[in-house]
């Protein structure tokens, strides 16, 4: 039986994106995994493969001195997809506070994350935060 998303897996993947150890969730990131980061900051772009995605997560954690945190209040799962709705991202960097709504869309195929899409409520605020 193919692995399916559950709420704990989606939340663990958000922890991975925040640069926190999440054990089994990290194993879901393989060479075929693709993270789409929106915006105009130096972090925006596509990250291919688990090493690149985890590298970005570590970089964001370093840039925020470990204050980066994703929380989710609603998670929808269906077979090979999970949508984290009404999530929040919080962090502090150089005295500036990031606090905005975020939606993550995860796609799982053959036991591996195929794609992660991130959508921020206030992309301009996010870009300013990472550019500061």
Long-range pairs for 47-56: beta carbons < 8 A, 24 or more residues apart: 50/26, 53/16, 53/17, 53/29, 53/116, 54/16, 54/26, 54/29
Percent of the chain surpassing pLDDT 70: 83
Average of pLDDT values for 77-90? 74
Average of pLDDT values for 36-58? 93
Give the pLDDT band (50/70/90) at residue 3.
low
- pLDDT for the residue numbered 2: 46
- pLDDT for the residue numbered 12: 74
C-beta neighbour count of 18 within 10 angstroms: 21
What does DSSP assign to residue 80? T
CA distance 54 to 50: 6
Q: Which residue has the higher pLDDT, 90 or 10?
A: 90
């Amino acid at each position: 039986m193919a692995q399916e998303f559950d709420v704990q897996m989606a939340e663990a993947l958000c922890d991975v994106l925040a640069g926190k150890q999440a054990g089994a969730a990290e194993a879901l990131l393989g060479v075929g995994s693709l993270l789409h980061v929106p915006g105009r900051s130096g972090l925006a772009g596509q990250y291919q493969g688990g090493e690149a995605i985890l590298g970005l997560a570590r970089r964001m954690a370093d840039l925020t001195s470990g204050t980066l945190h994703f929380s989710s209040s609603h998670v929808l799962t269906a077979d090979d997809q999970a949508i984290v709705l009404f999530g929040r991202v919080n962090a502090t960097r150089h005295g500036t506070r990031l606090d905005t709504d975020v939606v993550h869309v995860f796609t799982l195929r053959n036991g591996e994350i195929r794609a992660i899409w991130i959508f921020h409520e206030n992309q301009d605020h996010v870009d300013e935060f990472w550019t500061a």
